[in-house]
Amino acid sequence: MPLDIVVGAQWGDEGKGRVVDLLSESSTLVARYNGGDNAGHTVTVGEKIYKLHLIPSGIIHTNTIGVLGSGMVLNLETLVEESAMLRAAGVSITPERLWISDAVQLITPAHRLLDSVQDSALGAAKIGTTGRGIGPAYVDKVSRHGLRAGEILDLEAFAARVRAHFAEVDHILTDWYHQPGLDTETLLKEYLSCAAELRPYIRRIGPLVQSAIQKGQTVLAEGAQGTLLDVEQGTYPFVTSSCTTATGVFSGLGLGVQPVRSVVGVMKAFQTRVGAGPFPTELQGESAAFLRGSGANPWDEYGTTTGRPRRVGWLDLVLLKYAHEVNAFSELFLTKLDVLSGLNEIPVCVAYQRGGKKMDTLDFSGDARLLAQCTPVYETLPGWQAKLGACRNWTDLPKEAQAYIQFIEAKIGVPVRTISVGPERSAMIRRS
């Protein structure tokens, strides 16, 4: 009963797309279970770079079916655009190989506008959202008047519901935020045209996924964002609005827990974050410039979705331990080890100091205010100079790089089974 789960172990952008691409080779269904087009997952195959926001990264392999689960929030316009982009790149997108859950919540252009206006209105306290309407769409979901994909099947009734939703948001934008109103009829026309195009893709997903599992087909769940952005377990309130951890898979796809075979925690060899919120090991100056890169390489630390420079810092093992606690990783997949080449020494955060007390595990649940009071305690490991891009075996790695990995394994108690040393599909080392 094989269900493999890929989840981000940090603040997102760990390299989940490339990991899903690798594991999709032997999967039948590849399913997103949370978030929306706030995600930006990059897959590099030879010279081609695919940047995916909604469609599961596994779609690039011809053997897979992509699933958009009910735990997601779905912007119909982005999906139409992304499908066209993939078709132009030679990837087949048809109702046979892309299934949309009838229970998935929809994001509209009104949600997007509201997201930007509401986040800006927070001033200095803003979250720094991606502006994709994620928060407002999840608010509508839990307040029980959200729009669901299944409603598209009756286009006339759907149009009335969207019009009423636009009127409500228009009221909030103009009366509360004193912003210009919505151009309702133009937005409605474009939105309904996307809805009509996507109608054949809508399915009841739960039974299809369960039946695949019963037939012994592998289902791969592709997490978006990362553990520390989880709405419950993350660094609240500087989080996204969905369940990003492994537990989100079950409600987000409509499955029970029995089929789980593995939970793969994807971690970068250092720490990054986009948007606001506490970041104990954050760096400025020369070290930050080294980790972030200049932007000349496609993998340098600039957001896939927004292009914002990512905040960077040394690896934080206190937070990684916390991520293991809330996900129960069966293995870790370490990415971007190659980026650390050239450093003489590599500090790694092994504990925090807070209020005169030293702790090597978090003694609170994520809470941003408490995390902001923590000062990192570092152990410094020796660096290495050799470039790692051509390494394909454990023994090809410099002994200092091996020691860095073994240090992580010893502190977290989870094996690092795979290490990637470049963005390209083949640039990785599998350990037995």
Which residues lie near ligand GDP (CB under 6 A)?
8, 12-18, 40-42, 44, 298-299, 304, 335-336, 338-339, 420-423
Residue number with CB closer to ligand GDP (213 or 397):
397
Among 78, 83, 130, 271, which residue interacts with ligand IMO (rule: CB under 6 A)? 130
Backbone phi and psi for residue 221, each to the nearest 5 degrees, phi listed first: -100, 125
Helix (H, G, I), strand (E, B) or coil at 348: strand
Give me the 208-237 binding string for ligand IMO, x by CB under 6 A, dash otherwise. Answer: ----------------xxx--x--------
Instruction: Check residue 132 for interaction with ligand IMO (CB under 6 A).
Output: yes
Binding map of ligand IMO across residues 60-99, x = CB under 6 A, - = no contact:
----------------------------------------
Residue 295 burial (10 A CB sphere; 0-12, 13-18, 19+): exposed
Q: Which of 4, 21, 37, 41 is catalytic?
A: 41
Distance CA 208, CA 214 (A): 10
50: enclosing H helix or E strand:
strand 48-52
Residue from 5, 7, 13, 326 binding ligand IMO (CB under 6 A): 13
Binding flags for Mg ion, 300-339, as an x/- string (CB under 5 A) = ----x-----------------------------------
CA angle 379, 381, 386 (to 5 degrees): 155
Long-range contacts of 80-87 (CB under 8 A, 24+ apart): 80/194, 80/197, 80/198, 82/37, 82/52, 82/53, 82/54, 82/55, 83/55, 86/50, 86/55, 86/59
Site for ligand IMO in 230-269 (CB under 6 A): 240-241
The answer to whether residue 274 forms part of the interface with ligand IMO (CB under 6 A) is: yes
Catalytic residue check, 145: no
Among 35, 36, 40, 254, binds Mg ion (CB under 5 A): 40
Site for ligand IMO in 290-329 (CB under 6 A): 304
Q: Would residue 178 show up in a list of annotated catalytic residues for this protein? A: no
Torsion of CA 99, 101, 105, 108, to 10 degrees: 30
Residue 168 Cβ vs ligand IMO, minimum distance, rounded to whole Å: 20
What are the backbone dihedrals phi and psi of residue 377, each rounded to the nearest 5 degrees, phi first?
A: -110, 125
Alpha-carbon distance of 7 to 247, in angstroms, equals: 10
The verdict on 34 binding ligand IMO (CB under 6 A) reads no
Spatial distance between the Cα atoms of 194 and 249, rounded to a whole number of angstroms: 27
| Partner whose footprint covers residue 111, from ligand GDP, Mg ion, ligand IMO, none (CB < 5 to 8 Å by kind) | none
**Active site residues per annotation:** 13, 41
